[in-house]
Structure 1
Amino acid sequence: MNKDPSNHISGSADDKSLPRAKILRGRKNFQRLFEKDAKTIRNTFVDLRFKILESDSSGCLMGFVVKKSLGKANKRNRMKRLLKEAYRHHQSILSEPIENAGKMFHGALMAKTTNANYADVEHNVIALLSKVRDQLSTTSPGHS
């Protein structure tokens, strides 16, 4: 019996899964993102707050934030699902350069509205991840 490709677990570059281990969790991790030395990149529908840490392990952890003031729970949950889905499809934009640099990335995609559609959210997420990747390549010229 063969499993179809969408149902298998693999660590290859074309893997589009987003396991819990790759999602930023914990009060201390989120507090670290809201300190003064954390960086923020803004876009139309989504902001990205992040911190690049020197660590013995490398990886990319992303959180997803939608403020309560943006609406009722069903709207906030939908927006959070859209953020996760857009990040899941395009996480390789950022995760591969971070792992090649041997650094640890903690970030949070923060929604500004609950009225965006998936195409708008996806476009914003791609732009934000690309900006961080470009900043990373300019700050560490020894790695490519």
Structure 2
Amino acid sequence: MREKELSNLTDSPERRFTLSKSHILRGRRNFEELFSGSSMLRSQNVNLRYTSYPNADKKILVGFIAPKKIGKAVQRVRTKRLLREAYRLNQHIITGLPITADIGLHYAFMAKRADLTFEAVQQEVISLLKELRDRLLSKNSPF
């Protein structure tokens, strides 16, 4: 029998690059809260909409959106897969933040186009996550 692996959300030196279902933003109410009172970070092909909560009882949740205007279902599904994979590989940029800043965080990546390459998506996801981390740390800084 195989040993259970540690989560990538712990401070282990061996990081697992998994994205569990419990970290996915789901439900109409959660998306309505996200779109009603949120901030937006923009890049050329991907936008990031986020909202933070002052207490950490709301955990970190992420969503992936490909609107109907970017193409047919096959193109939207592929685009969401690219977004999920780029986030999964780079989630370590933001996952430790709620622990240190004592905040809850809901955010969603939204694609602007369907004809994206993985390299372009990954580069934009990394820059958006770094900008989000910097904004949240500066807002919650005690200084």
Q: So what's the TM-score if we normalise by structure 1?
A: 0.89
Report how far residue 113 of structure 1 moved: 0.4
* Superposed displacement of residue 60, structure 1: 1.3
Contact 1:48 1:108 in 2 (8 A): yes
Aligned residue identity for 2:107: G
In the alignment, structure 2 segments of 5+ residues that lack a partner are: none
1:63-115 Cα shifts (integer Å, max 9, x gaps): 00000111111110000000000111111111111221111100010000011
Aligned position for 1:19: 20
RMSD: 1.7
Q: Please give the alpha-carbon distance, in whole angstroms, between the structure 2 residues aligned to 1:55 and 1:27.
A: 22
Shift of 1:59: 2.9
Unaligned runs of at least 5 residues, structure 1: none
Match of 1:136 in 2: 136
CA distances 1:8-38 after superposition (whole Å, capped 9, x unpaired): 5322441210000000001011001111x31
How many residues are matched? 138
Question: Which residue of 2 is the match for residue 106 of structure 1?
Answer: 106
Percent sequence identity over aligned pairs: 35
Letter of the 1:44 counterpart = Q
SS in 2 for 1:34: helix
Q: Secondary structure at the match of 1:59?
A: coil
TM-score scaled to structure 2, two decimals?
A: 0.89
**Structure 1 ranges of 4+ moved more than 4 A:** none
Equivalent runs, 1:62-141 vs 2, <5 Å? 62-141=62-141
CA distance in 2 between partners of 1:26 and 1:96 (Å): 24
